Each structure stands twice: as structure tokens, then as C-alpha cells.
Amino acid sequence: MYLLDTGNPGISQLMFFGTLGMLTLAIGIIGFVIYHQRKVIRYQMQMKKLEAEKQQVLLQASIRFQEEERQRIAADLHDDAGPLLATARLYLNENLVNQEKAQQLQSIISAKQIIDDAIMLIRNISHSLMPPTLKNFGLESASTDLLQKINGSGKISATARFHDYRQRMRIDQELLVFRVIQELVNNILKHSSSGFIHLTQNVNAENMYIRIHHDGKGIVQADYDKLNHNTQGLGLKNIASRMKVLNGRIYFEIDPSQTYYKITLEVPREKE
């Protein structure tokens, strides 16, 4: 009977190099996994940093927008309402009782007219903060009214069609959506040279969708994302900040036919 000679140097070498190869392969796999994990972690950290920077830009835009609104209102009150009321006070000074009746009457009539102008000015400022059509009749009426007024100019065809708006949003949400629509339509009028603007609305179980179509110059989603990271483009940043408050999304697309652009607002619906 022959015994297996385990002391054969050839077999020992083969086992040694095999074990060394497997160990090297295992170390390589572990090293690759560690390297890949570190790369993923660096990527995630970079994405978090970019997201944080984007949120900071949106926050700054929102603060800047609110500050500009306050300054505009303050300027309107100071530059327009202030002088009107000061003038009315001149007519209604303490010397009024010493004037002739005819002169008194004229002073009172003049003061009343000036006060009426001041009331109209303050009402206009109030309406700019909360349009009465929106407050009284809702988003559908306010949006339709906005597009009808543009269409009435005769320079551009503008229409709006709401397919299902039986359940109104909260008034603060409606105001945010309406301001976004206003900003988008204003940008189209200023920059796109469009021949038409068409707004539609529909809903599904989860979301309400507002879509604005136009046939002028426009942007796609990549342009919008790029502009939102720049220091300029305050209007688009205001749109982004409002959509964030609504927990909504906005999409910029061009139709496959390349003949018109489409902007979609996606706003979550509240449960009935």
C-alpha cells in the first residue's frame, strides 16, 4: 500500500500560492467595496451640500421678495398716501371756522376729494396684496379674469379652462398658486414673444395640475434648475420658494413637436 506524500514541495507551493491569491483577491474586493462606499458617501455629501445651498438660495429669495414687497408698500404709502392726507389736513385746518361759508364749503369739498383719492390708493394697495376676485370667488375666477384681461388687449390670444375645481383650496394656498401663475404669465409676456397663452386645470386623487402652454421662446427643466442656482432670476426663485411652501413641484418642458412650451404646476390636494 502506498501513502500520500503530503510533504511534496510542489503541492505545498501550490497551496501557498492559492491561499495567497485568494487572500489577495479578498483584500482587493474589500478595498474596492471600501473605495466604492467612500465614493458614494462623498457623492451623497456633495448632493446634500448642493441641496443645502439651493435651499439657502430659495430662503434668501423669499426673504428678499418679502422685503421688496414691504418696501414697495411703504413707498406707496409714504410717497402717495402721505402727501394726499397732508394736503387734506391743510384744507381742514383750524382756520376753517374763520372762513366765509362759500370758502368753507369749497375747502370741505376739496378735502373730501383728496380723502377719497387716498382711500382709493389704499384700496389698490390692499387689492395688490389680496385680489378681491380671488378672495371672493376663488382661483378659477381670478385666473380666468387674468387671462381674459390679457386677451382683451388684442395683442395675444389668452384663455383659461378649469376642468374640475369643485373643492377650493385654502385661501392662502390659492394666493400662492395665483402669484405663481401671475409670475409665469408675466415672464411669458415679457420674454417669449408668444402668440398664445393657454391655461388648463385638472385633478387626480392626489394632486391638482395647472398647465400653461405658450408658443414663444421658453425654457426647459435644466434651464430652470440652472437659473435657480444663480444669483439672478429673482422671479424664478420666488416661484420656487412658493412651490416649496405648497409642497408642490414645477416642470418646464417643450413639446416633442418643438412648437410650444408647457409649464406644469403639481400641487398636492388636501383630503376632503
List, in order, residues 6 or more apart from 107 with CB less than 8 Å away. Answer: 91, 92, 96, 99
Closest CA to 184 of 161, 155, 162, 214: 214
Strands 261-268 and 207-214: antiparallel
Residue 266 near residue 251 (C-beta atoms within 8 A): yes
Whether the model clears a pTM of 0.75, i.e. scores above it, the answer is no
Residue 253 near residue 264 (C-beta atoms within 8 A): yes
Predicted pLDDT at 88: 81
Domain ranges of the chain: 11-129, 132-268
H helix count then E strand count, the chain: 8, 5
Residue 87 near residue 114 (C-beta atoms within 8 A): yes
Q: What is the pLDDT along the chain (272 residues), one digit of tens a residue?
A: 444 444 566 677 777 777 777 888 788 888 878 887 787 887 778 777 776 666 666 656 655 666 666 667 776 776 777 788 888 877 787 677 777 888 888 888 888 888 888 888 887 776 667 788 888 889 999 999 999 999 988 889 999 999 988 888 888 889 889 999 998 998 899 888 899 999 999 998 889 999 999 999 998 998 888 877 765 556 777 888 888 888 899 999 998 888 999 999 999 987 65
Please give the grid coordinates belonging to residue 229.
442656482
- Please give the radius of gyration of the chain, using alpha carbons only, rounded to the nearest integer: 33
User: Looking at the domain that runs over 132-268, which CATH code has it been given?
Assistant: 3.30.565.10
